[in-house]
Amino acid sequence: MFLNIIFGYMLFSLMINVNGHYNKCFDCVVDIHNCRPPKDLFKFTVPQKDSTKAIPSVNASGSESELDKCIKPGVNLTGVLNGVLCSITKDKTCGVISNNYNDEGAVCWACAAACQCDPTKFSKAVREDLTSVIYLESLQIVLYISGLIIY
């Protein structure tokens, strides 16, 4: 019975990234301030999973998507991101892109250092959200390892 619960949880955690996800441009003006992004900024927080999703742009039609205002000119994304992409924009500001299920405060915070923004003090609620995410990820890893050990 215990093994069924563990393996069921692991299967659910693997399936959670399948339906309804899309890349979203986050407006981080409220969360991060006075950013001075490097002129070549294009950084993934999960490069081993996301770096292959960035390809040179071949958009010759002149139409812009929502993501074009947050991504380095001349680059397109081919899939849904697992982590966060911090990028210089055509306006020389800090663009922040992630999947639509991620929390805006956490996503913006992930790019604050890469974009060389002024330090921001987070409210107690945001700090608790970030802490709970860390604990949930740790719990998932512990359950996976204990399932392997028991099996």
Could you tell me the sign of the dihedral formed by the alpha carbons of 139, 143, 146, 148, in that order? negative
Position of tokens 């393996």?
A: 7
Tens of pLDDT, residue by residue over 40-97, are 999 998 888 898 989 888 755 555 678 888 899 888 888 889 889 999 998 888 999 9
Helices (H), 16-120: 47-50, 104-112
CA distances from 77 to 92, 116, 122 (A): 19, 24, 30
What's this model's pTM, rounded to 2 decimal places?
0.63
Q: How confident is the model at residue 121 (pLDDT cuts 50, 70, 90)?
A: low
Contact by Cβ (8 Å): 9, 143: yes
Task: Report whether pLDDT(122) > 60.
Answer: no
The helix (H) or strand (E) run that includes residue 76 is strand 75-77
Contact by Cβ (8 Å): 83, 102: no
79 vs 122, which has greater pLDDT?
Answer: 79
CA 85 to chain centre: 6
